[in-house]
Amino acid sequence: MQTLEVGILGATGMVGQHFIKFLQGHPWFKLTWLGASDRSAGKVYRDAMTWHLAGGLPDSVADLMVEDSKPGNAPKLLFSAMDAAVATDIERAFAQAGHVVVSNSRNHRMEQDVPLLVPEINPDHLKLVPGQQRARGWKGQIVTNPNCSTIVLTMGLGPLKQFGITRIVTTTMQAISGAGYPGVPSMDIVGNVIPFIGGEEEKMQQETQKILGEFQGDHIEPLAAKVSAHCNRVPVVDGHTVTVSVEFSSKPTESDVRHAFDVFTALPQQRGLPSAPPRPVIYLEEANRPQPRKDADRDRGMAACVGRLRACPVLDYKFVALGHNTVRGAAGAAVLNAELMRSEGMLDR
Ligand code: NAP
C-alpha cells in the first residue's frame, strides 16, 4: 500500500509526543507535518518543546519546522492532540478545508454527526461521515476516539453487548500519565488516591452509551443502559484499571460470558490493520491480574486485558479491565481509527 503523508495538530504537547512515538516506522503513514500554537510555529521541533517520553526524540522529526495550526500546506490526514480550549474551531477549520481530522480531543466526541470510534466495537459508526459532510458543507471530516478510561470500559463490554446490557457500575483507577505534563502535583498523588477527575465520570457515562449505541441513519441511538462511573487518580504511571459490574437482559451463564471474551475478534483483526492487536481483549486467568505494571504494554499497549470474571450479588457479573491510557486511550486509538478509515477507502476519495 502506498505511504500516506500525515500531520499532527498539537504536536508539541504530551499527546502529540505520543503520536510521534507511535507513528515511528508506521507502514502506511509517514509523518511530515507538525502543527502547534504561534508560540511554537517557525521553530524546529527540537527547539519548540521539551521531549518527555522514554527513548529520546526521534531524529526524523527533530529538525521538522513547526507550523501554525491553519489550513494551508498540511497533508490531508491530520491527527489532532490539540488543547481542548482551542480544538473546536481549529479542527473545524481543517475539516472545512478538506482535511480528515482524526482527533483525540474531547471537543467533538458527543456531536450527533461525529463518529466516536472504537474500531473493534462500532466500525459502522463511520457511516455518520457522509451526513456530517453534507450538513456542515465540509469536504473533510472529523472522527474522534474516546476518553482514555471510556475506551478500557467499552473494550471490556464490547464482547458482551450481545447479551443485552441494561446497567453498568464502574470504578476507575487512573494512571497519572493521563493527566498530561506536568500533571498532578507529586505531593497530591504519591502514596495517595484522589477520588475526583473533573468531567471524567460524565464523559465515561455518555461516551459509553454512544459507543455501544446503534447507527440510525443520521445519528447514533445511545445504548439504553444506565451507566454509573466513579473515577479516581492513583499513583500508577501508565495503565488505567477499571472494575465493572454489569447487568444483562438475556441472563447469560458465566461460561457464556467467559466464552464471549475468549472468542472476541473484530474487523481490525480480520483486515490485519497494522496497529490492530492480534487479540483485542485478552482474558487473564490469574486471580490477581490484570495489573498495570505487568499488563498495560501488551501488544504495544493496543490490547485490553480483562480478568476476575465472577458473579455479582447486585448486578449479574463483575470483572476487571485494563488498558494503556496513552496508547490505546490516546495516540494508538486514533492511529487505528485512521487505519480503519483507510481500509474503508475513506482517505483516498
Ligand atoms: P498539552 O501538553 O497542553 O498540549 C497541547 C497542544 O496544543 C500543544 O501542542 C500546544 O502547542 C497546542 N496548542 C495550545 N494552544 C494552541 C493554539 N491556540 N493554537 C494551536 N495549538 C495550540 O495537552 P495534552 O496533554 O497533550 O492534551 C492534548 C489533548 O488531548 C487535550 O484535548 C486533552 O484533553 C486530550 N487528552 C490528553 C490525554 C493525556 O494523557 N494527556 C489523554 C487523553 C486525551 P504549544 O506547545 O505551541 O502551546
Within this chain, do residues 66 and 98 fall inside the same structural domain, yes or no?
yes
Pocket flag, ligand 1, residue 10 (CB < 6 Å): yes
Residue 346: pLDDT band with limits 50, 70, 90:
very high
Asked whether residue 349 is domain-assigned, the answer is: no
Within this chain, do residues 236 and 320 fall inside the same structural domain, yes or no?
yes
Within this chain, do residues 301 and 159 fall inside the same structural domain, yes or no?
yes
Within this chain, do residues 281 and 292 fall inside the same structural domain, yes or no?
yes
Within this chain, do residues 239 and 288 fall inside the same structural domain, yes or no?
yes
Within this chain, do residues 70 and 196 fall inside the same structural domain, yes or no?
no
Whose CA is closest to 316, among 248, 262, 267, 269?
248
User: What is the per-residue pLDDT for 54?
Assistant: 94
User: What is the per-residue pLDDT for 152?
Assistant: 98
CATH classification of the domain holding 117: 3.40.50.720
Give the mean pLDDT of 153-167: 98
Give the mean pLDDT of 236-247: 98
Tell which atom from ligand 1 comes closest to the C-alpha of 87.
32
Active site includes 240? yes
User: What is the per-residue pLDDT for 286?
Assistant: 98
Pocket flag, ligand 1, residue 330 (CB < 6 Å): yes
Pocket flag, ligand 1, residue 231 (CB < 6 Å): no
For residue 160, the 8-state DSSP code is: G
Residue 348: pLDDT band with limits 50, 70, 90:
confident
The pLDDT mean for the chain works out to 97
The residue behind cell 480531543 is 105
Within this chain, do residues 138 and 254 fall inside the same structural domain, yes or no?
no
Within this chain, do residues 141 and 216 fall inside the same structural domain, yes or no?
no
CB atoms within 10 A of CB 348: 10
Q: How far apart are CA 315 and CA 202, in angstroms?
A: 21
Asked whether residue 79 is domain-assigned, the answer is: yes
- How many Å lie between the centroid of ligand 1 and the Cα of residue 66? 14
Stated as kind and residue range, the H or E segment containing 214 is strand 214-215
Asked whether residue 348 is domain-assigned, the answer is: no
Asked whether residue 61 is domain-assigned, the answer is: yes
pTM above 0.95, yes or no: yes
CATH classification of the domain holding 319: 3.30.360.10
The predicted-structure confidence for 7-27, as pLDDT tens digits, reads as follows 999 999 999 999 999 999 999
User: What is the per-residue pLDDT for 33?
Assistant: 98
Q: Is the pLDDT of residue 341 over 90?
A: yes
The predicted-structure confidence for 84-139, as pLDDT tens digits, reads as follows 999 999 999 999 999 999 999 999 999 999 999 999 999 999 999 999 999 999 99
Within this chain, do residues 134 and 268 fall inside the same structural domain, yes or no?
no
Within this chain, do residues 186 and 295 fall inside the same structural domain, yes or no?
yes
The predicted-structure confidence for 55-99, as pLDDT tens digits, reads as follows 999 999 999 999 999 999 999 999 999 999 999 999 999 999 999
Q: Is the pLDDT of residue 1 over 90?
A: no
Atom 48, ligand 1: residue with shortest CA distance? 37
Pocket flag, ligand 1, residue 197 (CB < 6 Å): no
Dihedral over Cα of 319, 320, 325, 327: its sign: negative
Considering its fold, how many domains does the chain have in total?
2
Cβ atoms of 121 and 109 within 8 Å: the answer is no
Active site includes 148? yes
Atom 41, ligand 1: residue with shortest CA distance? 180
Q: Is the pLDDT of residue 349 over 80?
A: no
Asked whether residue 67 is domain-assigned, the answer is: yes
The predicted-structure confidence for 307-324, as pLDDT tens digits, reads as follows 999 999 999 999 999 999
Within this chain, do residues 140 and 242 fall inside the same structural domain, yes or no?
no
Q: 114: domain range?
A: 4-146+331-343
Whose CA is closest to 241, among 250, 249, 231?
231
Whose CA is closest to 24, among 46, 52, 50, 57?
57
Cβ atoms of 163 and 135 within 8 Å: the answer is no
Task: Please give the share of the chain, as a percent, with pLDDT higher than 70.
Answer: 100
Q: Could you give the residue ranges of the DSSP H alpha helices within the chain?
A: 14-23, 45-48, 59-62, 84-96, 129-136, 148-157, 186-189, 200-211, 254-263, 267-270, 292-295, 298-301, 332-343
User: What is the per-residue pLDDT for 23?
Assistant: 98
Considering the candidates 18, 108, 125, 148, report the single residue annotated as catalytic. Answer: 148
